[in-house]
Structure 1
Amino acid sequence: MEVALLGNPNTGKTSLFNHLTGSYEYVGNWSGVTIEKKVGLFKNKKANLVDLPGIYSLNPLSADEAVVTEYLLQGHVEKIVNIIDASQLSRNLHLTLQLIEYGKPINIGLNMIDVAKGYGKKIKVEELSKLIGFSITPISARNGHGCKDLAEAATQQNKNGSQIKVDYGEIIENSIGEMDVLIDNKTAISTRWLTLQLLEGNSTVYLYLLSLIGEEKLQRFLNNTEESIKGTGKSLEQLVFEARKAVVNQLLQQVEVIEVYNRKTFTSRVDCIVTNKYLGMPIFISLMYLMFMLTFDWLGTPLSDLVDGFISGFLTDAVSNLLAALNASAFIHALVIEGVIAGVGGVLVFVPQIFILFSFLSFLEDSGYMSRVALVMDKIMESAGLNGKAFIPMIIGFGCNVPGVMAARTIETQKERLLTILLLPFMSCSARFPVYALFIGAFFAKNGALIVLSIYVLSIVVVLIVAKILTITVLKGEKSLFFIELPPYRMPSAKVLWKSTWDKGKGFLKKAGTFIFAGSVVIWTLSYLGPAGINVGMDDSYLAAVGKVLAPILMPIGFGTWQAGASLITGFLAKEAVVSAMNIIYAVPDADSLQHLMSNVFTPLSSYSFMVFILLYIPCLATLATIYKETGSKKWSAFSVGYSLALAYAMALLIYQGGKLLGLS
């Protein structure tokens, strides 16, 4: 049996999915986290549960919302679990009525009853269940209360027991009957649901019906229906919405009791401060600065030093002794010690800092604060041709650009979606973090948090400037309206916080064991081989030959060495590989030695120029593949490579040459 999980954004849908199936999906306190369907098996093994994107209506506005309608049109779903936010019952019931019209049995999970109570609302659960005609289970999606009961109810075989039916008036009801004749049993999907979705303007349903009854009949049906409502002075969509609204209001009068009016909640009091037009941005920047202080100063650096000591000391000695005991050849010994351990270990040193970064971001996400950041950024984003909703994928991009690009599906207009995708690689993802850590340890140990904050702020400024240029040149088009739900603040649970941090961090570890491992072997091999044969000097290797081609080009931006050029090439595979390559090229035993060496090779100014270049130059291979998948265009994928490389060079040139003119070094 296949059960679909549906609900509004921010109702706890993904948390419920995790409790019902025992799996873990990314949980963020904003709309658009679930950007495609995810399938899990109920813990009781009786059915599959399909987690679909959070939606306010079945009429899709964005690409991720269209996933829901497309799934329902496939007709595989046998039951529906509808999660409802008790504190926002009015809005949630609009979707519930549409799901009832779909014609499949429904089990409802009533979540956030405690939040509703905080707003002074009490819900008569049994009364609502009788009126709707489906079982309603009070739950807490955050801690799992009631989830077992909901799972048992959802996996039982039961028929559609709906007691409620919306009367849409004579004109629309007659249209439903006409459509039933036109379809003539060509589909098992409810004709009533199909007709109402069509009249609301659901383009996905329109294409489905087009394939069933043909364009001529479908267009004649729409024209006749439009003609019949001319005297009402309202559109078909308005008539459908108002009919549902009347039913929702009747339900609320019978089941919702307002015990306290105008109660000032904790959330509303905090929002007065963090969304204030004067305080909102300084608060966000201060939190980012706090995050970088934890990462680079107070906690992260001491932990990274411990990992570095373990890898360069105990692990290297143990592996070296093991290879000696196995009588390994000099080639194998050099490959493992100088290639694999130096390359992969040089990246793993920064794992504690990466996990601290992810932990802090996860805390902000699950607390509900990140939605406020999108609201604060809205006016700034609007001035650049975007809206605050585009900032949500960009915040996700701080962790990794790949899910950020995918999250752009939540944006309604095609132009803004494409623009967001093209801008996302400029967001400073965690893969660039080891590069920052390397140069901060070498040059900026006393004010590392401030330097990294400047890099992150620069990434946002670049996004805004480039967005403005693109929206007045190659990507002119319509603008969407910005709306976002601000969920109540919650203290993240330790379990959810750890799972969220681990889910992000394990991707970094996975890359270290795959891309970085493979890259380290290739880099070391290219440094070991040369035109003169094997075991050549580093300056005579194939790797040096490639780097020397790029060195003159990089000279004007402050790092015209073959070593820098060769390292940057590896960044296309994964940005972390830049540090891995440097460990191998300079043949240093630990991170401290590499940082000391960097202080002789670079200057503070050239190191900052290098970090800015790393920030902006070409997307990594995984991000580029995702851009192509999301846009379906080789042209835009190539454009993202070309213009980001040009912009990176221009910005690094401006910083380095401008800094020299100002007397910096």
Structure 2
Amino acid sequence: MSIKIALAGNPNCGKTTLFNALTGSNQYVGNWPGVTVEKKEGKLKSNKDVVIMDLPGIYSLSPYTLEEVVARNYLITERPDAILNIIDGTNLERNLYLTTQLTELGIPVVIAINMLDVLEKKGDVINTQELSKKTGCPVYEISALKGKGIQEAADAVVKFAKENKKFEVAHVFAKNVEDILENIAAKLPKDIPEEQKRFYAIKLFERDSKILETREDFPDIESIIADAENEFDDDSESIITNERYTYISSIIKGCYKKKSKEKLSTSDKIDRIVTNRWLALPIFAIIMIIVYYVSVTSVGTLVTDFTNDQLFGEDGWYLFGIGRSDYEAANDKFVEENIFNHKTEIEAELQKAVDEHVKGSEEILAAVQDEDFGAFEEAMESYSAALEEAGISIDDYYNDDIMENAPDKADYGVYIPGITTLVSNGLEAINCVDWLSALIVNGIVGGVGAVLGFVPQMLVLFIFLAFLEYCGYMARIAFIMDRIFRKFGLSGKSFIPILIGTGCGVPGIMASRTIENDRDRKMTIMTTTFIPCGAKLPIIAMIATALFDGAWWVAPSAYFLGIAAIIISGIILKKTKMFAGDPAPFVMELPAYHLPTVGSILRSMWERGWSFIKRAGTIILLASIIIWAGSSFGMVDGSFGFSTEMELNDSVLGMIGNAICWIFAPLGFGEATATIATIMGLVAKEEVVGVFGVLDFEGLGALAGYAFLAFNLLCAPCFAAIGAIKREMNSAKWTWFAIGYQCTFAYATALVIYQLGMLFSGHFDVFTIIGSIVAFAIIAFVIYLLVRPYKESTKFTQKVKINA
């Protein structure tokens, strides 16, 4: 039989880092039976017969949050063979509060004091032998981050579990309290094991409702509790809390010596700046601007451009760059001699097309004027049919005969064709049928490749987010945002799911379960997906690159647009009867700053990135095939059929898009491709980019493009996140309300951006004037909702108990 070890500790104590170090890849994630709280379980690397259960981070075994209920239920009902209790050595007193409760369960407990490296740096000393004597538990010093002492602690807890000895509680309270507990224990049902009676006696004394619900034969001890409360002039729960801290204080005096009590720690000095009332938000804004600038605009873009244009594109690349400069010189000479020496004639023809408003003519003309042959070729590939249909031709200067004499990349250096070219050539070599070749090249490689092309940017972003999380800064952001959110009816607890949502909206939504107040939890679920998740990053990068020439401000503005949407929604919703009430209290422990290891950052990056890549291989692949099929089947010569060169408007997909694109016309992107991309984004947000990988990118202007970006960032999330909303809300009505609110808010935001942008840029046609009036009306209505009196809050009260 396998040995079950429970890993328990406070949030931010290093428990997850230790769990990853002990189990490596031998772990899996699921949900606890009956609830959506994440369940992490793994096998010890050094002993596959040992199963380690990573319990949710909790402060106590009192039932204030779902995590605490789940952790306690597991410990009571499953009864693991031993508990490895992780303690943050920099905050010994607070962490030992949970330890005193764990030891009362009658399960063997081994204490692992983490943050050893931080303690050594501070010069603080913990007498582990004395602490072990006082608590009755073996004590080991570890550094989960650096891997020091973790194997010794693991071996000790396994050995402890195998001995199967009865564990006795070492700590005692004041004599009069102990007498009360012994009296209650004597009245407990006979089938409760002796080693568990103290735990049940304390919980009954505290009037723990969750414990009382587990059995009907618990004794009535209300008279005992009432007498004790009169004697101590305090409520029963506070009596036990005070006794615990009295005991903890007594043992710390002989176990813990600080080097200096006067000097501020490095973390405290940093916090004086980064959590300063006036500097905190500007610092946060600067950090996020840098994160998105590096991820989307600079470093991330360099790798993404290579992935899109060379790895998955048709450009290919030169191994180690050998031969690239020779090819580029030869190509420049060819273009100058054969194409742009006819620049005047080509410009004259294209100007006719521009005057006749031929689709794509402005883009082709701009490429000729800039003498950008790459852009010219790409534009001609997309819009040559539109020129031909308009009777405008530049074939005398750009045709197949001329291009046959163009330099061949393969003649220079070590050239490696792109995946698209390799696949296309391979299919051509085996005489693959046209429809299958088009499906593979345009549908699968084009659609999935367009999405995967943005993986490098996502990985860079995930590295930054992992660093900020592991170093301790993200905990400060929740603390900072609590001050702001509280003014708008939310607490910092609502910001934690939002932070998690920057990776993926699904775990962000699920993290809302830490919020005790049901109204606050529902409101957090509704607004969490406003924050740009990893799947929305490709949309941001695509718009920034294609329409704003890679401008640095586009990505950060998308992030802060999400933050603004959350704050505005919080104010508006909190002033309604459905969500009125005081925000839940927010208490969290700020961990000491420390440099995370490269391994922990890379592991976090890979977990998030691999999740995205798996989606590309499943749901995005399927969606890309559907898009290709919908754009390749339609009306051909008056009858329904297939064509690899079908115009979008004649295809099934184009007909659907054109039928509903009027909905988005007031937002500036009322065309088939953008409409289809928006609808497919409900399946998976990455598929917004996938649509443009299969279909031609329409000529959206910068303003319409930003409105398109705003709508797709704020509207209803993907199906997976909608499913998470349904599970967390546990109500179809609330789920539809959340989707409706998100789509309405997104539509209103995009409409205001586009219509007022058109007005202020000098467009005064009748549609812009009407649209601007509607936009101003929306702004006025939102302002009214923001400033109207907060009448409903007095109708609701909430009693919340907080452990000292």
Tell me which interval the TM-score lies in, with the shorter structure as reference length. Answer: over 0.9
Say yes or no: does 1:250 pair with 2:250. yes
C-alpha contact (below 8 Å) 2:28/2:42 kept by paired residues: no
Say yes or no: does 1:553 pair with 2:651. no
C-alpha contact (below 8 Å) 2:168/2:195 kept by paired residues: no
Return the match for 2:690 from 580, 595, 601.
580
Q: For 1:374-453, what aligned pairs fall within 5 Å after superposition?
A: 374-445=478-549, 447=551, 449-453=552-556
The aligned counterpart of 1:10 is: 12
The aligned counterpart of 2:778 is: none
Give the Å deviation of 1:614: 0.6
Tell me the SS of whatever aligns to 1:140: coil
Return the match for 2:99 from 90, 96, 112.
96
C-alpha contact (below 8 Å) 2:141/2:149 kept by paired residues: yes
Give the Å deviation of 1:118: 4.2
Mark the CA change 1:494 to 1:175 in structure 2 (over 3 Å): closer, same or farther: closer
The aligned counterpart of 1:468 is: 571
Q: What fraction of aligned residue pairs are identical, expressed as a percent?
A: 36
Partners of 1:654 and 1:232 lie apart in 2 by 62
The aligned counterpart of 2:732 is: 634
Tell me the SS of whatever aligns to 2:48: coil
The aligned counterpart of 2:585 is: 481
Return the match for 1:183 from 189, 194, 209.
189
Deviations 1:170-198 (A, max 9, x none): 46644554355342215787121022123
Give the Å deviation of 1:362: 1.0
Deviations 1:421-477 (A, max 9, x none): 111111111211111211211221252x21221121111111111111111102113
Say yes or no: does 1:370 pair with 2:474. yes
How many residues are treated as equivalent by the alignment?
A: 640
Q: For 1:648-663, what aligned pairs fall within 5 Å after superposition?
A: 648-663=746-761
Return the match for 1:339 from 443, 455, 459.
443
- Letter of the 1:233 partner, please give it: D
The aligned counterpart of 2:90 is: 87
Which deviates more from structure 2 when the two are superposed, residues 41-50 or residues 422-431? Answer: 41-50
Q: Which runs of 5+ in 2 are unaligned?
A: 30-35, 315-417, 764-804
- Letter of the 1:384 partner, please give it: F
Say yes or no: does 1:492 pair with 2:602. no
Q: For 1:558-569, what aligned pairs fall within 5 Å after superposition?
A: 558-569=668-679
Give the Å deviation of 1:307: 0.9
The aligned counterpart of 1:625 is: 723
C-alpha contact (below 8 Å) 2:60/2:98 kept by paired residues: yes
C-alpha contact (below 8 Å) 2:41/2:53 kept by paired residues: yes
The aligned counterpart of 1:296 is: 296
Return the match for 1:205 from 192, 207, 211.
211
Give the Å deviation of 1:266: 1.4
Deviations 1:342-375 (A, max 9, x none): 1011111111111111111111111111111112
Say yes or no: does 1:459 pair with 2:562. yes
The aligned counterpart of 1:312 is: 313
* Structure with max Cα Rg: 2
- Letter of the 1:266 partner, please give it: T
C-alpha contact (below 8 Å) 2:8/2:85 kept by paired residues: yes
Mark the CA change 1:494 to 1:26 in structure 2 (over 3 Å): closer, same or farther: farther
Give the Å deviation of 1:623: 0.4
Partners of 1:275 and 1:26 lie apart in 2 by 36
Partners of 2:260 and 2:97 lie apart in 1 by 24
C-alpha contact (below 8 Å) 2:106/2:167 kept by paired residues: no
The aligned counterpart of 2:263 is: 263
Partners of 1:228 and 1:410 lie apart in 2 by 32
C-alpha contact (below 8 Å) 1:35/1:410 kept by paired residues: no
Q: For 1:15-414, what aligned pairs fall within 5 Å after superposition?
A: 15-23=17-25, 36-43=38-45, 44-156=47-159, 157-158=162-163, 159-162=165-168, 164-167=170-173, 169-170=175-176, 173-185=179-191, 190-208=196-214, 211-213=215-217, 220-308=220-308, 309-313=310-314, 314-414=418-518
Mark the CA change 1:478 to 1:125 in structure 2 (over 3 Å): closer, same or farther: same
C-alpha contact (below 8 Å) 2:658/2:671 kept by paired residues: yes
C-alpha contact (below 8 Å) 1:415/1:478 kept by paired residues: no
C-alpha contact (below 8 Å) 1:137/1:146 kept by paired residues: yes
- Letter of the 1:184 partner, please give it: K
Deviations 1:519-556 (A, max 9, x none): 00111111122263221533122111211121111111
Partners of 1:664 and 1:578 lie apart in 2 by 30
Give the Å deviation of 1:291: 1.3
The aligned counterpart of 2:652 is: 542
C-alpha contact (below 8 Å) 1:108/1:134 kept by paired residues: yes
Q: Which runs of 5+ in 1 are unaligned?
A: 28-33, 587-593
- Letter of the 1:75 partner, please give it: E
Partners of 1:12 and 1:524 lie apart in 2 by 47
In the superposition, the TM-score normalised over structure 1's length comes to: 0.92
Mark the CA change 1:145 to 1:606 in structure 2 (over 3 Å): closer, same or farther: same
Partners of 2:15 and 2:207 lie apart in 1 by 26
The aligned counterpart of 1:591 is: none
Tell me the SS of whatever aligns to 1:643: helix
Tell me the SS of whatever aligns to 1:37: strand
Mark the CA change 1:512 to 1:381 in structure 2 (over 3 Å): closer, same or farther: same
Partners of 2:758 and 2:596 lie apart in 1 by 47
- Letter of the 1:452 partner, please give it: A
- Letter of the 2:229 partner, please give it: I
C-alpha contact (below 8 Å) 2:26/2:43 kept by paired residues: no
Tell me the SS of whatever aligns to 1:520: helix
C-alpha contact (below 8 Å) 1:183/1:212 kept by paired residues: no
Mark the CA change 1:188 to 1:50 in structure 2 (over 3 Å): closer, same or farther: farther
Structure with larger RCO (C-alpha < 8 A, sep 6+): 1
Tell me the SS of whatever aligns to 1:45: strand
C-alpha contact (below 8 Å) 2:103/2:169 kept by paired residues: no
Partners of 1:97 and 1:484 lie apart in 2 by 20
Partners of 2:138 and 2:66 lie apart in 1 by 32
Deviations 1:95-126 (A, max 9, x none): 11111111111111111233234445311111
Partners of 2:118 and 2:234 lie apart in 1 by 36
Deviations 1:599-644 (A, max 9, x none): xx21111111100001111111010111111121111111111111
Partners of 1:413 and 1:188 lie apart in 2 by 37
Deviations 1:51-101 (A, max 9, x none): 101111110322222211121221331211111122211111111111111
Mark the CA change 1:14 to 1:296 in structure 2 (over 3 Å): closer, same or farther: closer
In the superposition, the TM-score normalised over structure 2's length comes to: 0.77
Which deviates more from structure 2 when the two are superposed, residues 171-180 or residues 574-583? Answer: 171-180
